[in-house]
Amino acid sequence: MSTTATETKPLKMWQGINQALVEEMERDERVVLVGEDVGRPGGPYGVTRGLQERFGELRVRDTPISEQVLVGLGVGAGAVGLRPVVELMFFDFALIAMDQIVNQAAKFRYFSGESLPLVIRTMCGAGGPNGAQHSQNFEAWYCAVPGLKVVMPSNAADAKGLLKAAIRDDDPVLFIETLGLLTARREVPQGEEFLLPIGVAETRRAGDDVTVVAIGRLVDRALEAAETLAQEGISVEVIDPRTLAPLDAETIVASIARTGRLVVAQEATAPFSFASEVCTLAAERCLPQLKAPPVRVASPFVNVPTPVPLAESRAPGADAVVAGIRRALEGA
């Protein structure tokens, strides 16, 4: 899998996703895109803008509002040799298609012995006046499903490289985009062969005193927190898993074993979450090296408010990550 590129271009995350779709659809005529308003409207946030005009209504198709039918369409398309990309407008709506995702797509290879190329793209988290039914983070639920890969990029470059890899993967991939990051800009490598491997974490910042494992838009906030604490001589290592399942446990364990402290930062609530799993990983594999109990930095266990200021105040900021790091340092 290639990660080389000769030039970069500053793109927002939605533009990086759009570029990945264009490149893969040009490369392979079996790649098709279906979803609610993905065609002429270009998606609710412009992610699929211009694709129907470029590739036609046969390959970029608007569908009725029925997520269960949508994912079922993707399962059937993948089973007969296409490489479908299904867009679910909000992550919350994946619950309607839970049976198709969990019992059909994820178990297809187990039951048939055949591959099922299928990418399910969806949008998670707060980032607008969308309310409690359109802003939730359920990534941990799907990480518990054998046969399903779960990817969650934190920037435009990773979104492009990981989406291209997901489309070329022969098994189902749940590709989670973060609403609050859609307009975040990053230098994105150009070229058809820029791909990032699924299942490999990235160390965003090296450090010696504490390990912070952050996902989604908490990655940038963790980096901001690390920069703030560096002024006090505190060295923070920030790891971005990028893929939640399969998780790159080796990178995370090696860091925790070296620093002796762990903070996990996420937008989801803490109970039964991705953060809980990483803390368990630390307890099972790094207990002798831990100098303090692991710390979870997460949203409070309440529904997402509709007013944007309230929704944003619910999500952990860089200050919450700083506070979490201090608790880990003081816990020894």
Contact 91, 98 (CB under 8 A): no
In Å, what is the CA distance from 188 to each residue of 3, 54, 69, 185, 227? 11, 22, 34, 9, 23
134, 164, 204, 221: the catalytic one is 134
Nearest to 78 by CA among 114, 24, 28: 114
- Give the position of tokens 């190329």: 117
CB-count exposure of residue 218 (10 Å: 0-12, 13-18, 19+): buried
Q: Is 302 exposed, middle or buried (0-12, 13-18, 19+ CB in 10 A)?
A: exposed
The DSSP letter of residue 305 is P
With H, G, I as helix, E, B as strand and everything else as coil, classify residue 185. Answer: strand
Q: How far is CA 28 from CA 59, 75, 135, 263, 281, in A?
A: 11, 18, 33, 41, 39
Active site residue 134: yes
Q: Are 75 and 114 contacting, i.e. CB atoms less than 8 angstroms apart?
A: no
Q: In which region does residue 231 sit, left (phi positive, over 0), alpha (psi from -120 to 50) or beta (all else)?
A: alpha
Q: Which residues of 177-196 are buried (b: 16+ CB within 10 A; e: fewer)?
A: bbbbbbebebebbeeeebbb
The two three-digit tokens of residue 209, written as one number: 């005193």
Partner residues linked to 187 by β-bridges: 10
Alpha-carbon span 96 to 276, nearest angstrom:
25
Write the CB contacts of 86 (distance below 8 Å, at least 6 apart in sequence): 34, 35, 70, 71, 73, 74, 118, 119, 120, 121
Q: Is 285 exposed, middle or buried (0-12, 13-18, 19+ CB in 10 A)?
A: middle
Indicate which residues carry an active-site annotation. Answer: 134
